[in-house]
Amino acid sequence: MLGEHRTSPASASVAVQARSQLLWILLQRMVRRFAVEECVRRTRRLDVLINCAAAAPAEAFLEMTAEAWELALRVNVRAVALAMAAAAREMTRNGGGRIVYVTSAAARMALPHYAAYAATKAAVDSLTRSAAVALAKQGIRVNSISPGMMDTPLQVRTEETFCRLEGRSDLERFRAERTARIPLDRRTTPEEMAEAVVWLAADAPDYMTAERLNVSGGLDKD
């Protein structure tokens, strides 16, 4: 038909992705703003932010997908960075506060099937240092904690994928071999992580900032 405008499938796909990206950005801004505002409304102030986010796509190195990287970057890097900034603005008005990032031993390990996750947790380490310097004069201390292997649902799903990608069939043996790499010869628990997080948030020396606290049973030795 003369004058009819036809949109190619590729153009339509790009348009859909662009709209999705815009909606995601708007949603994240709303969540960050309302989360901080709701916290202040309920407690009258914001003193501590625990920045714990994890999207952990596991895939074969040569079969990495843009979708997996986009998810990991959005959740593990952009979301935690912007949440930190939103919280820090409120803490600055109060004269200070504490921010604790949850990073991972994966940031310092060679994990071919976990490339996106490991890279984003390395970014969290960098964000910790940058934020600590940027916010020091505002009385805000920024540190991170690096947990070791811990049998969360996410960890279990990840190891199931690792096992499959490595062509292994005995999941329990595979998990036991991974546990054997830990010098303390066991996995950590959520309760142990909680103790460390509370210490950083409340009892750690005020002179401590830009630090990475390893609670990995010796797995992360740097």
Cα(95)–Cα(77) distance, rounded to whole angstroms?
26
Q: Please, are residues 102 and 64 in contact by the beta-carbon 8 Å criterion?
A: no
Maximum alpha-carbon separation in the chain: 75
How far the first Cα of the chain sits from its last, in Å, is 67
Q: Find the DSSP H helices in 136-169.
A: 153-165
**DSSP state, residue 147:** E
Q: Which of 101, 114, 117, 207 is catalytic?
A: 117
Q: Count the Cβ atoms, other than its own, within 10 Å of residue 86.
A: 19
Q: Which of 102, 89, 93 is nearest to 33 (CA)?
A: 89
Cα(107)–Cα(184) distance, rounded to whole angstroms?
20
* Residue environment code for 168-179, b if the CB has 16+ CB neighbours within 10 A, otherwise e: eeeeeebbeebb
207 is catalytic: no
Q: Which residues have a catalytic role annotated?
A: 117
